[in-house]
Amino acid sequence: QVQLVESGGGLVQAGGSLRLSCAASGASGRTLSSGAMGWFRQAPGKEREFVAAISWSGSSTYYADSVKGRFVISRDNANFTMTLQMNSLKPEDTAVYYCAAQNGVYIRTAQSYYNWGQGTQVTVSS
């Protein structure tokens, strides 16, 4: 099973931007995923929630209402990477962000994903 590694988190002021990256690692037989990829986040004391997802080809994208118009998801299968461009960040966006590969039916549900990364912290100050 390929390993997923997130990077790009950090501390930013409200209204600022960050770009998160999810990379697939492995010496051979490496793929980002054979299906959709997604981003989820988990804030302190909260359950993991859906942020965005993208199909294998990148032709279909999905966003949570709370981030639509501010975040943009993309993937580069040739380079085994997926990105989440986050703009106009709000303090409510503060969370640990995880990337994952989908193997289930419901694209907005965490239980439909497997092979999770370790997460990267995003902190937005007011």
Query: Where in the chain does DSSP place strands (E)?
Result: 3-7, 10-13, 18-25, 37-42, 49-54, 61-63, 71-76, 81-86, 95-102, 113-114, 120-125
pLDDT at 88 over 70: yes
Structure letter (DSSP) for residue 93? G
Q: 94 vs 79, which has greater pLDDT?
A: 94
Read off the pLDDT of residues 92-121 as tens digits, 9 standing for 90 and up: 999 999 999 988 888 999 999 989 999 999
Position 26 scores a pLDDT of 67
| Nearest to 37, CA basis, from 116, 90, 94, 91 | 116
Say what the pLDDT of residue 31 is.
Answer: 67
Percentage with pLDDT > 70 across the chain: 93
pLDDT for res 112? 92
pLDDT at 28 over 60: no
71-76 sheet: strands from edge to edge = 3-7, 18-25, 81-86, 71-76
